[in-house]
Each structure stands twice: as structure tokens, then as C-alpha cells.
Structure 1
């Protein structure tokens, strides 16, 4: 009997040991006075005969790297590896962490298991990584398109530098860093570091906010279409837009019909958009009501958003390209932010597609509840991207 009890005690102890080692807690080093950083690779590529000899912009980001005597990086204080071209939608939560479908990372931190930002002034910063504030050397390296970690690569594969520069990050500030092509003719690349300010603004919970950036390379829009990569999903945006554009918006009811707009929110002027890939100034935010449709119940709304980018001298009510022209001489580019982000609107095939700027999610006692968000639409060389930021919300209680 004693032997049996001792065996049981041993087995129980072994089980606890295995459980403890198999489910060990990850301990993160605390960062004093951090800044918050999110990084996107905007260097889009399609392999063709014209660019087959150019390095594919699949990147490793090294912050404060250590170099050997041959100037080859051997370590870094922070590494953002497998940085692929960004996806059209950056949602308000870290959707990529823990996924194993692909080793490629569409943003930083993305899949990286690092210490992320907190809830700051009500905004969820879990898609931003904590970075020690101060001055940093930041290097973006070309790397092979494979799943071998950067520092495990052969030395000859760690020599190709895309960008080597310094940045300064202030404590408790939020930064979005973009790797961009700056000049389409010379193929010059660089970074664009923007210090965000949404967390400092007095924003209403009942309004949806959005600002716009055209960060396309100098000369992209003016170049011949045969020299550009064609992004069919971008619709009329694929050839680029003029350096100066006006922004109009229309709100539509739940149905996917361009014949069902909200009368008070049809072809409304928002403001002007100027191409810029240098100045890091934050562009102004525009807004529209979360519950613009008076027939909604004040809890859930199904409205979706249509954006018209139009060159000076054009407007939605006098549009010679509407509704079917895809090649608009860069004078008109429509964008639909619809319910799922995957369904085309009949009769509007020339519009780029993005998800709805209104987040519908279970919260509190409601199976579905609509929340206002803060959004940024960025246009880069024929592609359009949406980043959505959400306030903290109550989890479901049912």
C-alpha cells in the first residue's frame, strides 16, 4: 500500500512538472517610459521580366543592430523579421499574433510576441509595440523569402541594406512608420515616420473619424501605365491619383445598392488631399455620425461608406467617368467601405474595396453592437489601405 501511494505521489509530481514546463509563462522585460511603434512595408512588388533582377522587398527590421568587422549584423536590440508587403486592412486588434498559416508578417509587431501598448486615453494600442523612447538606429535589410530567422541566415544573405537611418521616439507617444518608395523614376526608397495625435484629441463616441494620406512616390501618377504594377482590386485607383484631390463621401443604408443613399449624407465634401511622402504632419480628421440612419435602433447600424476622390474641377454630381470607367485619367477614384469588405456593389465595379469603418461586435448584453472608430486611409502607388483604431469596449455579458 505504501509503495502504491509513493508511486501515485511521484506520478502526480511528474504531471505537475510537465504541466508547468509545457505551459510556462512568458515574462516580458518592463520598458520604462516607452514609445509605441507600428511599422508597415509599403513596397509592393510583382515579379516580372522588368524587375526580375531587383531584390524582392521582403524585409528584416533591425533596431540598434550590432555589426561585426565586415559590417554584417550579428544581433539587434529589437528585430522585426519576415516583414512582407502590408495587407489592405489593418484591423483594430492584433489579428496576426499566434497565427501559423504563414511565416510572413504583414506589419510590425503583427505576429511578433512582444510587449504591446496599453489602453491609452481609451484607445486600444495592442497593435503597437512598446519601444524604449529615445534615439535609435533603424536598419531595414533585404532578406530571402523563406522561414529562416534573419540571424540564422548565411552571412552572404545578410549584406543587402535597404535603409539605414536614425529615428527619435518620445516617451508615451504613438508612431506609425512606413517604408516607402519616394521617387518612381529613380526608385529611391525611404521611411515616413508619423507621430499620431488621435489619443490627444477630444473625439466623440458617437462620431466616426477618418483622415487621408496620399503617400505615393513622386512621378508615379504621371508615369505610363505600362510601367506600373496593375492592382485590379484597386479599381480606378490603380493608375494613381493627381497630386491634389478633393474628398467627397456618401453614406448608404444596409442594402448593397448605390441607389439607396442617406439623403442628408450624399456627395458631402470633406476636404482636400495633397500627395506627401516627406512631411510627417498629421492630416485633419473628418467625421460622420455613427447612427446617421434615423431608422436604426441606436444600438446597431448597417450603414456603409462610399468615398469619391476627385481632381479639382470635378465633382460627384457632374462626373463624366461615372459609373463604369476604370481608366479615369487619375481624375476620379471611388472607394467602397462596405459591410464585409469582400462584396462588390452592383454597378460600381471600378471602386476599390475596404471594410466598413463601423465595427459591429458583441458587447455587454447585446449580441451585436455598433462602435465608432478612428480611421486612416492611405494611398500608395495604386494601392489603398485602411487602418482602424477602436476604443475599449465592454465584453459580452450574456
Structure 2
């Protein structure tokens, strides 16, 4: 046999074996015997203007139980959440960022991270929470450059810009949300807030929609000069922020095809829900408010087109006669006395000529409609959290396990 041919012939099985190994290569997950469930948001929504142009962009790296070298530079950790970027306005009821490789930047943890996630717990899908060890954990956050280089491959000079270093204590099989926050707008002090969730422990009805509210704004933001606040028109009435104590009102509308002409659902016109206080220190869970899934008299019990408008008013302002509801907030400010948010469709809505709706930020509907069983679509109730942070408002939606679709 020709020596060159024989050599090539012998290489074929080896190449096939390499291809087979490569094809079978998979991510090895570290098993956690007694896990807690953790989700992390970077709420540092800094904006660039002439007064803060030298502020560091809040791109972060989180390290749990870090390891350091002799010079105190981090070299690893038990859990690493790198490329933690500013959070997005909507955190949907499923890990929407998983598998998205268009960018390494991660709007939450675990988000894109290939880690073990939470189970279905008491009917709630915890796949947006990561499994982490329970017990006392040291957690550090470092500022990092906004680039695609992993934190531990950065130059040593870029790996010691510490934002926070603290210890948290997590109980086994409990659910937590960790926020990185600006605590004081004047001093620019930052810190962490850990909230132990309880939604999966409550006796909740499938025919009611639940929502609670938090004001995690920095001390002094509402009182700050308007020129120091974001000038993004899409923030609408939230550009000024909200005062430290606000009342929250709910109006339900029936019809998302043409929201400017959607009628108000009978009995749900500016209903008082609750009062909220600014708080960046306590992780206490706010009480959940509720409204019926089938509030509209015209629904068939399978699909509903109802959507929600929440209005935040400083105590003393009346929901009917407040001076801001008919104002074009794109050119006026509210002095932190009023803000509103419209929750309809997927939040990608443009309203022209209707000041009452256009003065509000747009976020997705609190109701989830999807193909389920023989129904396409079917509407489901959810559990929701709305958080105000300075000029931004965020919605997190949690769903129960839905019936498996049946395709014909």
C-alpha cells in the first residue's frame, strides 16, 4: 500500500472521532445540593450629560465567593455573572435572553448565562432565577469596561474598580431578587438591595392578576434640577421621577387594536390601589394588589383584550382633576408629582395626538395571551412587579406553568 495513502487512511478514524467528540460536546453544570434561587438586576441607569460626563458606564461583573491573588486582584469565584449591563424595561416570564449570542452584554443574571436555573415551584416557573449555593455568600461587584473581553482576561489595572463588597445569607429553596442601586443622587453612593420573594408561597387565584410596586429611586433624585435628569422623551412623565410617597391608581381599557378609542372597563376607572414609599434599604416585599382577569363583561372566559394604565400621583392630587393627565409631557415637566404607564400589547406602541396616553411610558400587557391546548390564543393571569428607579420604570412578569399546546 502507498505510504501516503496508508497514512491518510489511518487518519480518517481519528478525524471522525474528533468530529464525534466535538458534536457531543456539552456544557457541564455544577450540581448544587441545597440551592437557593437568585436573580440579579443592574438598576444603575446613569445617563450622560455635561454634568456627569465623567461618570463610569455601569457595566459590571458579579463574583460570588471570589478568589484573590496575593495582590488582592480577583482571579475567579464560585459563581461569576460577567457583562452585567443596565437592565431592560421588561423582564418577561421566561428566560428570553438565554441562547442570544448577538451580544455578550447581559441585561440581568442569569439571563444569557448557561447555568442551572430554578424549577417549577408551587406552579410558578423559576427558569429566570439561577441556582446558587444557600447560606452565607460573599458577593462583590466590579465596574468593567464595556467590551467583549471576559473580566478575568482584562488587564490587571482594570480588575480592581470595586462597586460593592458584601455578604448575603440565602435560605435553601428560597427565591431572591438582588438589585444594584444608586442610593443617593447627590453623593452618587451605590449599594445592593436583596429582596426575598414570597409570590410562590401565597394562595393566588388563576382568575386574578396580581401586581405590586416599589420606588427604588435614589435619595434626592425627585428634588434635583430637571436639567440633571434624563432628557429621553420616551421616558415621558417619568423624566422628573416621582416623589418619596405616591398613590397608585388603576384604569382598565378594553381593546388594544386602537387603544386611543378603547372604552374604560366598567368599575375600573382610576381605582385607588395603594401607596408606595421610596426605599432603597429594606428588602421587604410589598403587598400584592389584584384585579380580575375577566373584568370585561364582553369576554368569553378564554381570551380578553383588556389592558392597564397605572397613574402615580402625589398625595393631595385627585385622579380626575389632576393638572398633568391632559398635558403633553414631552415638552413639560411634572415636578415629580405625577407619572403614568400604559401596559398594552408588547409595549412597542406609538400614540399620537392623545396626550392622556402619550404622557405615559409604554410597557407590555400584564396579561399573557398564547396558544394553549385547543385555544389559540388563551389569556392567562400573571404575577407582576413594577419598580420605579429615578426616571425609569421596570416591569417583571412571572407566570404559572401553562398547559402544553395541542397542534392539529
- TM-score class, shorter: over 0.9
Which stretch shifts more, 250-259 or 360-369? 250-259
Match of 2:199 in 1: 198
- Given the alignment, which residue of 268, 272, 288 partners 1:269? 272
* Distance in 2 (alpha carbons) for counterparts of 1:230 and 1:201: 40
Match of 1:171 in 2: 172
Alignment size in residue pairs: 392
Is 1:186 the counterpart of 2:187 in the alignment? yes
**Alpha-carbon displacement from aligned partner over 1:208-252 (angstroms, at most 9, x marks no partner):** 100000000000000101122233222111111111111110110
Match of 1:46 in 2: 47
Match of 2:117 in 1: 116
- Given the alignment, which residue of 306, 327, 342 partners 2:348? 342
- Given the alignment, which residue of 313, 320, 323 partners 1:317? 320
Match of 2:3 in 1: none
Match of 1:4 in 2: none
Report the secondary structure of 1:76's partner residue. strand
Is 1:67 the counterpart of 2:73 in the alignment? no
**Alpha-carbon displacement from aligned partner over 1:288-330 (angstroms, at most 9, x marks no partner):** 1111112112111111000011111112211222222422222
* Distance in 2 (alpha carbons) for counterparts of 1:322 and 1:378: 21
Match of 1:127 in 2: 128
Is 1:25 the counterpart of 2:26 in the alignment? yes
* Distance in 2 (alpha carbons) for counterparts of 1:78 and 1:214: 29
* Distance in 2 (alpha carbons) for counterparts of 1:58 and 1:17: 38
**CA displacement at 1:13 relative to structure 2:** 9.4
* Distance in 2 (alpha carbons) for counterparts of 1:285 and 1:139: 31
Match of 2:335 in 1: 329
| CA separation of 1:66 and 1:338: change in aligned 2, threshold 3 A | same
* Distance in 2 (alpha carbons) for counterparts of 1:379 and 1:230: 17
Report the secondary structure of 1:343's partner residue. coil
**Alpha-carbon displacement from aligned partner over 1:63-105 (angstroms, at most 9, x marks no partner):** 1111112111011111000000000000010000111121110
Report the secondary structure of 1:49's partner residue. coil
| CA separation of 1:368 and 1:16: change in aligned 2, threshold 3 A | farther
- Given the alignment, which residue of 369, 373, 380 partners 2:382? 373
* Distance in 1 (alpha carbons) for counterparts of 2:226 and 2:359: 17
The answer to whether the 8 Å contact 2:222/2:335 transfers is no
Q: TM-score, normalised by structure 2?
A: 0.92
Report the secondary structure of 1:318's partner residue. coil
- Given the alignment, which residue of 360, 366, 370 partners 1:361? 370
| CA separation of 1:259 and 1:299: change in aligned 2, threshold 3 A | closer
Which stretch shifts more, 326-335 or 282-291? 326-335
The answer to whether the 8 Å contact 1:28/1:115 transfers is yes
What 5-or-longer segments of structure 2 have no aligned partner? 1-7
* Distance in 1 (alpha carbons) for counterparts of 2:365 and 2:221: 28
What 5-or-longer segments of structure 1 have no aligned partner? 1-6
* Distance in 2 (alpha carbons) for counterparts of 1:15 and 1:290: 57
Report the secondary structure of 2:172's partner residue. coil
**CA displacement at 1:54 relative to structure 2:** 2.5
**CA displacement at 1:24 relative to structure 2:** 2.5
Report the secondary structure of 1:317's partner residue. coil
**Alpha-carbon displacement from aligned partner over 1:102-137 (angstroms, at most 9, x marks no partner):** 111000000100000000000000000000001011
**Alpha-carbon displacement from aligned partner over 1:311-360 (angstroms, at most 9, x marks no partner):** 11112211222222422222111110011211134512110111000011
Match of 1:232 in 2: 233
**CA displacement at 1:395 relative to structure 2:** 1.9
* Distance in 2 (alpha carbons) for counterparts of 1:304 and 1:13: 61
The answer to whether the 8 Å contact 1:252/1:258 transfers is no
Match of 2:211 in 1: 210
**Alpha-carbon displacement from aligned partner over 1:241-272 (angstroms, at most 9, x marks no partner):** 11111111011011412551112111111111
The answer to whether the 8 Å contact 1:302/1:339 transfers is no
Which stretch shifts more, 293-302 or 198-207? 293-302
The answer to whether the 8 Å contact 1:310/1:331 transfers is yes
* Distance in 2 (alpha carbons) for counterparts of 1:166 and 1:182: 18
Q: TM-score, normalised by structure 1?
A: 0.94
Report the secondary structure of 2:136's partner residue. strand
